[in-house]
Amino acid sequence: MATANSTKPQIGIGHRTEAEWRSVQRQQHRQKLINRILLTIVTGVIVLIFFFPIWFWVTASFKTFTGIFQMPPQLIGFDAIGSWWSTVIGGRPYLEVVQETVGANAGTGGGGTVGYYVVPFLVNSAITGFLSTLVVIAVATPTAYALSRFNPRGKQNIVFFILSTRFMPAFAAVLPITQIYRFIGWDDTRFGLVLAHVLVNLPLAILLLKSFFDDVPTDLDDAAMVDGCNRWGAFWRIIIRYVLPGMGAAAVLCLIFSWNEFLFALYLVRIPDLSTLPVFLAGFDTASGGTEWGFLAAAGTAAMVPVFIFILFVQRSLIRGLTLGAVRG
């Protein structure tokens, strides 16, 4: 320490003893710490502002009827009740819960006829998401490999075409697809919706996976082919193992986007037995006296939680996925 310090006092500051230097250092250290604490406070406040709506929504699902509308909202330490959840997850009759939480004379909204039992819709969303993800990964992986390894004529145009399938506004794509589906008898089938979700997710998965393939050295392909594999063998036996994490990330993202997708799910499957969660959630009328909000908060939270859990696994690959592989996270 002493030797390091002794080189410093020369430049125009005058003479200082070692003890004085230590205190200067300590001061600088303290200043750095203070800066970092200030930084933490500023950043923390901004992050909390972004987190506030989610926290508000999650807590609302446990609040009493009056608690939800309290101003300003109580974000911690409120009286927690499980009534809303008992309907949403447990399937308790809607009216029973409304009478318990709101009172006997409460006006009832859309829930009176449909109910707020989300479990079947969670299951529908999960099945649709799972199947479409399966198809997406199966189709996207070889395509991504080819885009990474081969250089066919007009490759950039192919990529732009893949990208451009996202350009059509969903409302405009929905009607033609419903018409085609009706023509070939796929309307109101889960299969039809699954394929539509494949359309939504395929570009993302292809370009994301391509960026993962790009990271695997081509020497590995060459080595495999020297050892007697053909292209397919090199891909299937060797290279695919190196992109398994990428496939996982792509799968989770596809699952999330299928889970969140709204318009296709709304119009391609019009029977409640097959409806996904967003369609179910969007179907409620919140205008009638606010009786619905507790249920909605619980149902919305039920829709969020699985996604949040998935996200924890793929946080790092998330950026790559959302930018279709163009930015390495």
Task: Select from 1, 76, 219, 271 the one that contacts another protein (CB under 8 A).
Answer: 219
Task: Select from 13, 119, 244, 319 the one that contacts another protein (CB under 8 A).
Answer: 319
The stretch near another protein (CB under 8 A) out of 1-9, 85-93, 110-118, 224-232 is: 224-232
Check residue 199 for interaction with another protein (CB under 8 A). yes
The stretch near another protein (CB under 8 A) out of 3-11, 17-25, 42-50, 101-109 is: 42-50
Task: Select from 6, 23, 25, 179 the one that contacts another protein (CB under 8 A).
Answer: 179
Task: Find, among 66, 73, 202, 70, the residue nearest to 143 by Cα.
Answer: 202
- Positions 91 through 150 that interact with another protein (CB under 8 A): 139-140, 142-143, 145-147, 150
Task: Select from 25, 28, 31, 40 the one that contacts another protein (CB under 8 A).
Answer: 40
Check residue 44 for interaction with another protein (CB under 8 A). yes
The stretch near another protein (CB under 8 A) out of 7-15, 48-56, 185-193, 241-249 is: 48-56
> Which is nearer to another protein, 83 or 125 (by Cβ)?
125
Task: Select from 103, 107, 286, 313 the one that contacts another protein (CB under 8 A).
Answer: 286
CB of 224 to another protein, least distance (A): 9
Task: Select from 7, 11, 15, 72 the one that contacts another protein (CB under 8 A).
Answer: 72
